[in-house]
């Protein structure tokens, strides 16, 4: 499976499964699985700074704490989270406009380096 959930992979592998189960069950299952995987990745770590949108998901954060009890989960002020997200998306947008690769296959699991994103003009 990929290291990140690209739309194509989700459409091919996950979407067909979703039509067979209740939405609440699917959401709970995905949240539990994400927390389990993150907890496993945090083995040997003393603390982690959570700065993505998941920091706002209290259920996810509680589950991660269950699966990584040895690790201090640090959630910064919301302004730091929003600033980081804005900065990353601005950089990705710049890369798209300039044609610079912004997807590294060794990090995302993509089969190749490429530039993700589309520019729409009015």
Helix (DSSP H) and strand (DSSP E) numbers for the chain: 6, 2
Query: What SS3 class is residue 8?
Result: helix
User: According to the CATH classification, is domain 1-76 in 3.30.1330.60?
Assistant: no
Kindly report, residue by residue over 3-30, the tens digit of the pLDDT: 566 677 788 888 898 888 999 999 999 8
Nearby residues of 108 by Cβ (< 8 Å), 6 or more positions away: 2, 3, 4, 6
Contact in structure between 73 and 50 (CB atoms under 8 Å)? yes
- Mean pLDDT lowest for which of 43-52, 58-67, 94-103? 94-103
pTM (global) more than 0.75: no
Positions of CATH 3.30.420.40 in the chain: 1-76
Token pair for 12: 């091919």
Report the C-alpha gap between 96 and 118 in whole angstroms. Answer: 7
Kindly report, residue by residue over 55-92, the tens digit of the pLDDT: 999 999 999 999 999 999 999 999 999 999 999 889 98
């Amino acid at each position: 499976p990929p290291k990140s959930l690209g739309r194509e992979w989700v459409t091919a592998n996950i979407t067909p499964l979703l039509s067979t189960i209740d939405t609440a069950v699917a959401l709970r299952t995905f949240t539990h699985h994400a927390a389990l995987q993150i907890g496993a990745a945090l083995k040997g770590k003393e603390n982690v700074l959570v700065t993505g949108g998941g920091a706002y998901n209290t259920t996810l954060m509680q589950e991660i704490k269950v699966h990584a009890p040895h690790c201090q989960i640090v959630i910064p002020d919301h302004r730091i989270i929003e600033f980081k997200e804005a900065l990353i998306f601005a950089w990705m947008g710049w890369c798209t406009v300039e044609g610079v690769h912004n997807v590294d296959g060794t990090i995302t699991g993509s089969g190749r380096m490429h530039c993700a994103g589309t520019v729409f003009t009015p």
